Chains A and B, each alone.
Chain A
Amino acid sequence: MTTRPKRGSPARANVGPERKDAAMQWKHKDLLDVSQLSADEVRHVLATAAYFREINSRPVKKVPTLKGRSVVLFFAEPSTRTKTSFDMAGKRLSADTFALAKSGSSLSKGETLKDTALTLQAMNPDGIVIRHGSSGAAQFLAERLECSVINAGDGRHAHPTQALLDALTLSRRWKGEFSGKTVLILGDIAHSRVARSNVLLLTMLGANVRLCAPRTLLPPRPDTWPVAVYSELPQAVQGVDAVMCLRLQLERQQAGLLPGLREYARTFGLSPRHMALAAPGACVLHPGPINRGVEIDSALADSAESLILEQVENGVAVRMALLYLYLTRKSPDAAQSGIPA
């Protein structure tokens, strides 16, 4: 029995992604929105995530890359899949993850966001993942904290990790080629951080973006966005390569923005009949959780065109990539932990 490690041992070689572009030095402290990233950086995230997808397919889905590092999952708004996805991403990289929800935290006792943040900071985490109901909350934390802040959704503003996982899903479908492709984002755009981040990211990668929604669910001044706007779904879906459905919050009806769910489903619910108008091989995405029979036909959600579950799978890989890139940026002990430079 030898205790001496073999040269190029698999354990060492596989704890971090191989960098195709060795010059890519991750320079960002925080991820607030995709607008902070260049197209090259986005491609680097996606390539890194593709590597982590491979780890996720192994029988033992864990590497020691972030051993000894801690990540706080600070979710001031209810979330199941994003929080679980980050939690799993952190644990698969051997980071210690600590969840903090609004209920049961001092936020529900009237503590301000700033004080909660400073308290967390005093515990010296390496990163904080924040989900918050106020637009700009992630930036608020990032400006006040030394550790990395990753935005897991702030109000209606941004949801960059969702946009990146959507991009990974489409990239795999389209073999990395976004130019010439058209994506329709359908539904409650006005209240959607997913839509805002996706418009920015898809156009950055070279895709065309269309929006379709009743005017009451469009943002003010959609003319200032790099998109084409449609009010009728059959026209909007013509020839598109992908449709991204958004969740309809049921309270929009009470706010006077909609006559009712039945009418919405009838006019803006995506069905196989619409997909017949799309380009051959067009796919369907949804950030979840879905309202079957409201924004998407139930059978369509389960069909071969639906990439909804692959989005979930890619979500873990993308968040692993992001935790890796942000938490090991300019880290002094990066070499010791065996991360390829």
Chain B
Amino acid sequence: MPDDNNRPQQGRKLDLAVRSALWLGSLKGRRDEQPKGQLVDVLVAKGRIVALVPAGSLEVRAAREVDARGFLLLPSLTDVHVHLREPGQEYKEDIASGLRAAAFGGFGNIMCMANTRPVNDTASVTEFMLEQARASWPGGPRLFPIGALTKGLQGQELAPLSELRDAGCKAFSNDGRPMESTELLRRAMEYSQDLKRVVIDHCEDPWLAPAAGVNEGEVSSRLGLTGQPDIAEAIQAARDVLLAEYLGAPVHLAHISCAKSVAVIRAAKERGVDVTAETCPHYLTLTEDEVAGYSANAKVNPPLRPRADVEALLEALADGTIDMLATDHAPHAAHEKDVEFDAAPCGISGLDTALAVTWELVRTEKLSFVAFVRAWTTAPCSRFGLPLNGFAPGDPADFVLFDQEAHWVVGPQTMRSKGKNTPLLGRTLRGLVRAHFLAGKSVLDKDTAEA
């Protein structure tokens, strides 16, 4: 947070000044849960925040002046769970298109899962990913690969986790493939702890209707689809927190979708277990009813749940039981989803829509601004050791100018991701990223708010 002692001195050279942005957070130590906001200027030098000051309060000129026109100022979001499909399935998404979707979606840091082809289970794959990111967009959103927990994600032998960490992996996960062997998961958590890395577990019982893509309940019963019960997730979540507690090791639970898992996590946190968890925008806003017309774009693993689970997740995110948001961005090609429900792959493309969808929760007062910022920035960055902009002097100048009033229709043209697979296709969302600065540099093309 800004501090009077770190005011820019007269004569110090500013590279960027963004004028008249709407800031809803606290300034000078004030703390409001749902503040009305005030206009501020963001002052940046050498890619870092110099100060956040009331608009027009400092008479300094920067090398580059930007008029924010009252757009909302947000720190760049961090997404700890995306699938970028490169190497191997570039027709679904590649690192360049994924980064582009991230930039326009308001994300400055993204962590990509290891289920590429080949799997990210060796340093050479990690290095390839990082090189593709640098080559496709220097200065663009930062890519942080997640290393495979087991070789080939097969769940049989540990991947070379030390090598993966040194190559740049920020966490380890078998995401997409449940860890069947509790013994191997135990060893992976122990080994990762030595490496100061958190294991991210995809909680899914491998025998209870795996990867069904639809919740077991009234809807699946009526449609004649094999549904997956919520306990398939909660049983594994319970195993994981007990293991973490026993070992005194950290664990992060991916894409939590149901009330029963929330209860497991809440109880574990009360006992002091080092567990964090994420949920996704679709679990907070959509229900199993989306599947009713056999809509393959609503087929996702874990599946969309009934309304009561949505309510429980919102409450858990508000009180911090669920620490953070992540998209589980899972792009697929149009033809892969244009098949009968059984044959469709699971997954929702989320980078383009996540900010607008979750901002709607703030607008409708289901989520506080403070919880929103925590869930998209502080919690993920501190858990995984990623650059964080808290708008304190010296923080990386990663921020977004967000037009709260812009309406846009989700569609193939408005989405930057190659994956257009979302149940929101054709729906109107409110809120659009007008400008995005990373390390003080504008990363969007021409359609920015530059003065």
Chain A residues within CB distance 8 Å of chain B: 112-114, 132-137, 139-140, 154-158, 193, 196, 219-222, 224-225
Contact = CB atoms under 8 A, between A and B. Distances in A.
Given A139-B294, A220-B216, A220-B227, A134 B221 contact: no
B220 A132 contact: no
Contacts of B340: 113, 132, 134, 136-137, 140
A157 B224 contact: yes
Contact of B338 (A114, A132, A135, A157): A114
B343 interface: yes
B221 A193 contact: no
B225 A135 contact: yes
Contacts of A114: 335, 338-339
B31 to A, nearest CB: 46
Given A136-B294, A139-B294, A155 B339 contact: no
B376 interface: no
6 tightest CB-CB pairs across the interface, nearest first? A136-B294, A156-B224, A157-B224, A134-B340, A135-B224, A134-B342
Contacts, number: 63
Nearest to A137: B340
B224 A140 contact: no
Contacts of B294: 135-136, 139-140
Contacts of A112: 335, 338-339, 343
A156 B227 CA distance: 12
Nearest to A141: B340
Interface in B215-233: 216-218, 220-225, 227, 229
A211 B220 CA distance: 18
Interface string B283-309: 000000000011000000000000000
Nearest to B215: A220
B220 A113 contact: no
Nearest to B229: A220
Contacts of A136: 223, 225, 294, 340-342
A134 B299 CA distance: 14
A132 B340 CA distance: 10
A140 to B, nearest CB: 5
Contacts of A196: 222, 224
A158 B224 contact: yes
A114 B296 CA distance: 13
26 contacts: A112-B338, A113-B339, A113-B343, A133-B342, A134-B340, A135-B223, A135-B225, A135-B341, A135-B342, A136-B340, A139-B294, A140-B294, A140-B339, A140-B341, A155-B225, A156-B224, A156-B225, A157-B223, A158-B224, A219-B221, A220-B217, A220-B229, A221-B217, A221-B218, A221-B221, A224-B221
